[in-house]
Chains A and B, each alone.
Chain A
């Protein structure tokens, strides 16, 4: 059958083909997908509406060159029935380089998301700025960054790095809420290996410098590492399932009618010997529904565990010290990781459940000179300033400043529960005894025996939850097996929480 407007069909087909089949095949050979394939993975079938298919550059130096969509596909679609805006840079079109029209398309996508109160997902696969466009390209980046900041705290922004993302371009993802990288096909850095070699003489590969694992485990810039792009998009969908559409809504809680029986295994999870560790993730998976926990930044600062789960259907953010790694101490990286995550929860109205077993802040010259005071302060500042429901459970150690940094009652916890294994004190028994009985220990005929005797005495008087409970710093001392039920009850009570604060532009968090 003959169709009318054959020219239009041909033009549309050419634009939709991006840089052409040959270049798309090349993407596939590298384990990458095309921009449109990425959006197809993200969106429910037939839900995609494209903006700016016809838009292209207006650069005189590039006159005559065709850049379908100006190297980026933008639009709106649905993810499990919920509207989500997205843009996907098209590496097959001029290397996905950013020119002024390309940037305009992204900015208009961000604006639309802001107006509709809808999350935005960005797929970054770009060689960088389109050099021929000069300052216009730079201005494009600037406008994208500005809008990323404008949207921050209003709608969730998720960045997926699916190719190169270097130089100034890294700052768009860096300004968003979550970054997902794909192992071995994506790279992020400010200055690449060549520039570094010229500047400092250091020799390093792209992968070691800015590959997914380096960015996730060492730098801590990235929240998730996916094996391939399919998995990366799955992570986006799972992440969205915990987040509200915008800051005016609650997170997507789901109905939960099941009973919450006692979980006897929790009664046995903390070892008798205080020297021994346990994996706090075993506690977390017993508290969340169906053991489903989405750990965020799993490989960075693993001495603290953060992530999303549901408790009786309610979305919660969980922050937990990890005694199995570095004794669960708070250090610079752990403080940064936790503070960032807790603020993300607050912005999106997600209650925070804190599981405390912390021996203290990490001592050491590197930590002090690295600014542990400033970084640790972020945690204290964050817990005190967030207004979502906060429930803290003290599993074992709660020593000194770290006890306060992990959201004690005084730092704004709405409810604090403690297991009978809790030890709430200014410092651990041995350290405390050595300070209190320094003179006696020096004079003693058998200092070891005296030390042991005093440690035991200290344990009895300080290293337990009862003194703190009597002083009403704890709401209750509970059997660990009751934890889920009691935390859920308290979260239920806190649903209507209103936390009024003095008017200000914003607090001055130490950065």
Chain B
């Protein structure tokens, strides 16, 4: 995607400023941009390392497994077709918990494991099944307890209270997840009807 977007961004801005603006600002912009990349990465580095470290501890304990037991009922509601398959429901709930905790590195492999187990039971191997769609939608909704990267960014930019966005993020992410799950459920119902006719 960026192979297409990035050159377009650069080329268009050069063309635009050659026609409408002054080209001199482009020179400063190039150096300012690369300088900002350095300052952002360096200020981000500390808090990112801290969180990766803390979350690694969570990964090594039974913490993730414990919470995934709590959310089992939710999983069974969202995935009615696989609710009797213990292995798949466990993989799904582990994936959800990893997402919630912001264990990005752990969440994706767990999710991929779940979708691969679903594929084994899938009747039409070329098409996404209902539960697969639900899994993907939940993973794109980014339900996260602590939005670590954004908080790190805010504190690196000198915010007076970097964590103050946590509750707004919870509300927004919850609404997004509910909208995603409901619209998927509705779309599944609609297309299943069409198939029966």
Does B associate with A? Answer: no
Chain B interfacial positions (CB closer than 8 Å to A): none
Chain A interfacial positions (CB closer than 8 Å to B): none
